[in-house]
Structure 1
Amino acid sequence: MVVNDMIQLTFAVVMNIISYVFYTINVSFCCFLLMIAVFTTINTPLNLASMAVERYIAICNPLRYTQICTVRKTYVLIGLIWLVGTIPVLPDLFYLLATQPMEFFNSRIFCNRDTVFHDPYLIEKKNISHLLYLSFVFLTLVYTYFRVALTARAAGSDARKARNTILLHVLQLMLCIFTYIGPLLESLLISHFPVFAMELRFMTYIFVHVLPRLISPVVYGLRDQMFRTYLKKQLVCNVQLGGIKQQTQPF
């Protein structure tokens, strides 16, 4: 999930910088950026569902955990997630190649999914696919959470940690919803406040792309005992050094 989010953020940052510096770019290059960004964006909720299922198996079926969650099956699952992530957007590219002349791919355009794949049929298909994906992931998280929560009542701290982990995944999924409603929210705000179009695009970029992917490294890092110990030492050292510098400054 971390690698997937790193790729997503990298391409999202590149597209955001391009929109500020050049505003329009070549359609073919834009399609390449969009394909990678959409793949990794769709993969994020699927990764959350997979991690929740893994916690469910570890707590509710511990005797079969080593048989089900093997390294080989994990690689197969990752490959399946990337394959499923391509299903909503690859048909859009094939449709674009079949319906648009070559001059279109050599032209320049503002790099946005709804701008490139502007056909009403493709936009409607995108909305339906997003709804199906989010519904599937949400039901998976709810089911695994309640099953693990019931087990946690009669088990130890491991089950309670797994329940809290799945609850964190639910929060991450709620933030991922911003990714799907972001373009609609952005167009709505820009239509009402066209003077602040660039500022609104930057604001939606922060909430849609950066914020949902900021939680994972921060929360998982703080929950790690070794990382938390080093972080406390680092903060204490910085505070002490700051106090020493203030005391040694001449009046």
Structure 2
Amino acid sequence: MANNSSLGGGESLQRQINDQVIIVLILVIMFLCINMLLIVTLFRKECFRTTTRYILFAVTLLSDSLLLFMSAILLIMSYFRFIMQVWLCIIICIVVLVYLTVTPVTLTAMTLERYVAICMPLRHAELCSTRNTIHCILIIHGLSSVPCIVILSAFCASASLSVYKQFNVCSVEMFMLYRWHDHLRSAVSQFYFLIMCIIILFSYVKIMKVAKAASGENKKSTWKGLRTVILHGFQLLLCLIQLWCPFIEATVLQTDFLLFVQVRYFNYIMFGLVPRCLSPLIYGLRDEKFFLELKSNVFFVFYKKNIV
């Protein structure tokens, strides 16, 4: 009886995990298709390719798409217990760790762009030129690489050469060899969280002051920019909470494995997928110019299919 009950529970857990994996893969494929449509729309129009906020929007879409694709691959490998050498896993995790940070840093840059556009309109064209935007993207990737460099440096300083030839299931958690590695990762994440929150709050307060002083058409435009900053702040908050998820999951794992599975699934959906679907909402639907272009592209695709 006990064995049958245990076996039934194992099959139930296996079926539940299998359903969860399928749901995640469907959501990832759906978001990737939406992102690809938005990216094609951005690159079709020259005004989108030369405007700072749309260029940064494209960076978030590309970053989110790559991260969703890589996380789906890691999920499948983890589910089927696919093992690989540690050195190969390091290469994969470098991409994941860097682009896990690229999106929140880019969102912070987009908030600063809105601050310049509303609070410093006369200098917006100068500060947000295409050349400066390219430099900004390089800075974003440089800043996003710092947590990855810190984590991998700590791992490389602690691991022996034989570790790199071992075979294991690939995950970022495998680089946390000691407790102080977790503390170091937590410190870097909290530092980034603090800096980004300060920038968001600073931009919000400044734009709020301009919104109260503005009148007529300027007031409408300013309040729209303020709502965009609020949405960026909410999206950024979800992205930054994702940086804390590993520490929450590690604590839960020590008490209950089944609860750990549920918590990890919830964290991935809530703080991994949801922030990535907010970008299309903020600029894909709320931005009138981009929405009209997107609608014409979708109409063109359906029209072409009907002709064929």
Q: TM-score range by the shorter chain?
A: 0.7 to 0.9
Deviation at 1:46, TM superposition (A): 1.2
Output one character per residue of 1:140-171: Cα deviation in whole Å (capped at 9) or x when no partner. Answer: 00110111111112322111111011001110
SS in 2 for 1:81: helix
Within the alignment, does 1:137 sit opposite 2:200 as a pair? Answer: no
Deviation at 1:6, TM superposition (A): 1.4
What amino acid maps onto 2:283 in structure 1?
A: Y
* Mapping for residues 46-65 of structure 1, pairs under 5 Å: 46-65=105-124
Output one character per residue of 1:79-99: Cα deviation in whole Å (capped at 9) or x when no partner. Answer: 011111111221332343343
Deviation at 1:198, TM superposition (A): 4.3
Q: Is the 8 A contact 1:114 1:123 kept in 2?
A: no
* Mapping for residues 1-251 of structure 1, pairs under 5 Å: 1-22=60-81, 24-155=83-214, 156=218, 157-195=220-258, 197-225=260-288, 227=291, 230=295
Deviation at 1:201, TM superposition (A): 3.3
Aligned residue number for residue 4 of structure 2: none
SS in 1 for 2:147: coil
Deviation at 1:109, TM superposition (A): 2.4
Distance 1:59 1:120 in 2: 45
Distance 1:127 1:29 in 2: 25
Residue identity (%): 24
Deviation at 1:134, TM superposition (A): 0.8
Q: Is the 8 A contact 1:15 1:33 kept in 2?
A: no
Output one character per residue of 1:106-150: Cα deviation in whole Å (capped at 9) or x when no partner. Answer: 112233323223233322111111111111100100110111111
Relative contact order (C-alpha < 8 Å, sep 6+): which is higher? 1
List runs of 5+ in structure 1 lacking aligned partners.
Answer: 238-251
Distance 1:89 1:5 in 2: 17
Q: Is the 8 A contact 1:145 1:166 kept in 2?
A: yes
| Most deviating of 25-34 and 71-80 | 25-34
Paired residue total: 234
Distance 1:135 1:196 in 2: 30
Distance 1:100 1:171 in 2: 38
What amino acid maps onto 1:64 in structure 2?
A: R
